[in-house]
Amino acid sequence: MTGITRRTYLMASAAAALASTTGARAVAAGKNPWKKAFMLGQTKGSPLPVFRMLKEAGFDGVELISPNQMGQDEILKARDEAGLVIHGVSGARHWQWPLTDPDPAIVAKGIETIREEFADCKAYGGTTVLVVPAVVNKKVSYRDAMVRSRQNIEKLIPDAEKHGVKIAIEEVWNKFLLSPLEFAQYIDDFKSPAVGAYFDVGNIVEYGFPEQWIRELGPRILKIHVKEYAKDKRFGYALGEGEIDWSAVAAALADVGYKGWITAEVGLGNLSAMKDVVARMEKLLDLA
């Protein structure tokens, strides 16, 4: 892997500096342009009742799991009737069929599944497919994960471009891409606008500070996931009740000029619970 070049560093720093003035004003005015979405884990049955509830609760959109067993026509009908945007999909098989497995048959299944996710995303009107690029474990070394993931994502870039969607690489507890500098370089090395970062705020807190990662990743960030975290119960906290410095997160996002979706990756509840999630997002992130 090549190091971060002086030119890349200066370009990223300049972009962050340029965005900081307008971004900071937006936070201060409570007018951050980010739209609120909910990550829906439903894979069967009609999504319409849940879509309607999420819309009533105040969400602008939803992110779906793919592949799923809901009919495409039914999903599109529910989307239109509820008035929600399906902004993207999250892969459902990246742990089962990782792109870095030593078995070529498993990798082939993983690649084919991501291609299905591209097609689903395009059909729903979404723009990103969340991809976990690698899983490091006793049978897959960090080096092997780096080499295999890059090779296999390279194979998928033409498919993403064909469908008009982007590959959004998420940092997750997979023992891979363990620093923001490495994550940024990993994305840059693809040299493709079809590959970017899906930054999960809660996933980083165990070993880093989200606001620092956001500033390093900068314009590479395509989408944001939010959930709370603290060491005692890990993800078992409501937004705002853990150890995340949400004001610092909001300031960092504004400073790098982020203008995309903020998706809550929390448990689905009733209408009252979902309204509470929306209220917490608006308060913590200074959303209009």
Query: Does residue 16 lie within any of the structural domains?
Result: no
Kindly report the pTM of this predicted structure.
0.88
| Residues 245-279: tens digit of each pLDDT | 999 999 999 999 999 999 999 999 999 999 999 99
So what's the pLDDT on residue 231? 74
Query: Does residue 86 lie within any of the structural domains?
Result: yes
Domain range for 49 is 32-284
The total domain count for the chain is 1
Rg (CA), the chain: 18
pLDDT band of residue 280 (cuts 50, 70, 90) is: very high
For residue 26, pLDDT beyond 60: no
Query: Does residue 218 lie within any of the structural domains?
Result: yes
Query: Does residue 23 lie within any of the structural domains?
Result: no
For residue 234, pLDDT beyond 50: yes
Query: CB atoms < 10 A from the CB of 67, how many?
Result: 16
Tell me, what amino acid is at 62?
A: V
Question: What H or E segment, with its residue span, contains residue 181?
Answer: helix 180-188
Query: Does residue 243 lie within any of the structural domains?
Result: yes
For residue 24, pLDDT beyond 50: no
For residue 150, pLDDT beyond 60: yes
Q: How many residues does the chain have?
A: 288
CA dihedral 127, 129, 133, 137 (to 10 degrees): 150
In this prediction, residues 94-108 reach a mean pLDDT of 95
CATH number, domain at 125?
A: 3.20.20.150
| Residues 156-214: tens digit of each pLDDT | 999 999 999 999 999 999 999 999 999 999 999 999 999 999 999 999 998 899 999 99
So what's the pLDDT on residue 189? 98
Query: Does residue 60 lie within any of the structural domains?
Result: yes
Query: Does residue 271 lie within any of the structural domains?
Result: yes
For residue 48, pLDDT beyond 50: yes
C-beta separation of 220 from 186 below 8 A: no
So what's the pLDDT on residue 223? 98
So what's the pLDDT on residue 22? 44
How high is the mean pLDDT of the chain? 90
